[in-house]
Amino acid sequence: MALDPIGAIQGGGGLSVQGVSGTGYLGTNNVSGAAGTSDGNGFATALTGAVDNLQSLQSASNQLAVSAVTGNLDDIHKATIAATRAQITMELVSTVRNKGVDAFNEIMRMQA
């Protein structure tokens, strides 16, 4: 099963999660037959993309906050929206990470 990266979470006119469909997890479900083949890198790639996106959102938020404090920002709403976007994305990435760790621990507790 191929997963699209979570990096599709973008700031723009509003926070949007793209690539989520009703049949697949994060995009189209490309499983052929009963057992799908995967190289195992899909989740790692998705998580890496989400973390990279989070870092860019936090960087933009920090830059706007500095501009607001120094008085170089005309519209304070931009800083507030950027900070909220970074916070929500951080919560999303943290939740996905926690669920992944919980799933791993559950698998490790299974008896063969």
Q: In this structure, what DSSP letter does residue 78 have?
A: H
- Say yes or no to pLDDT of 40 above 50: yes
Q: Percent of the chain having pLDDT more than 90? A: 46
Q: Count CA atoms closer than 13 A to 11's CA, side-chain side.
A: 21
The pLDDT value given to residue 17: 43
64 burial via Cβ count (<10 Å: 0-12, 13-18, 19+): buried
- Say yes or no to pLDDT of 48 above 60: yes
pTM for the full model? 0.58
Q: Percent of the chain having pLDDT more than 70? A: 64
Average pLDDT (38-67) is 88
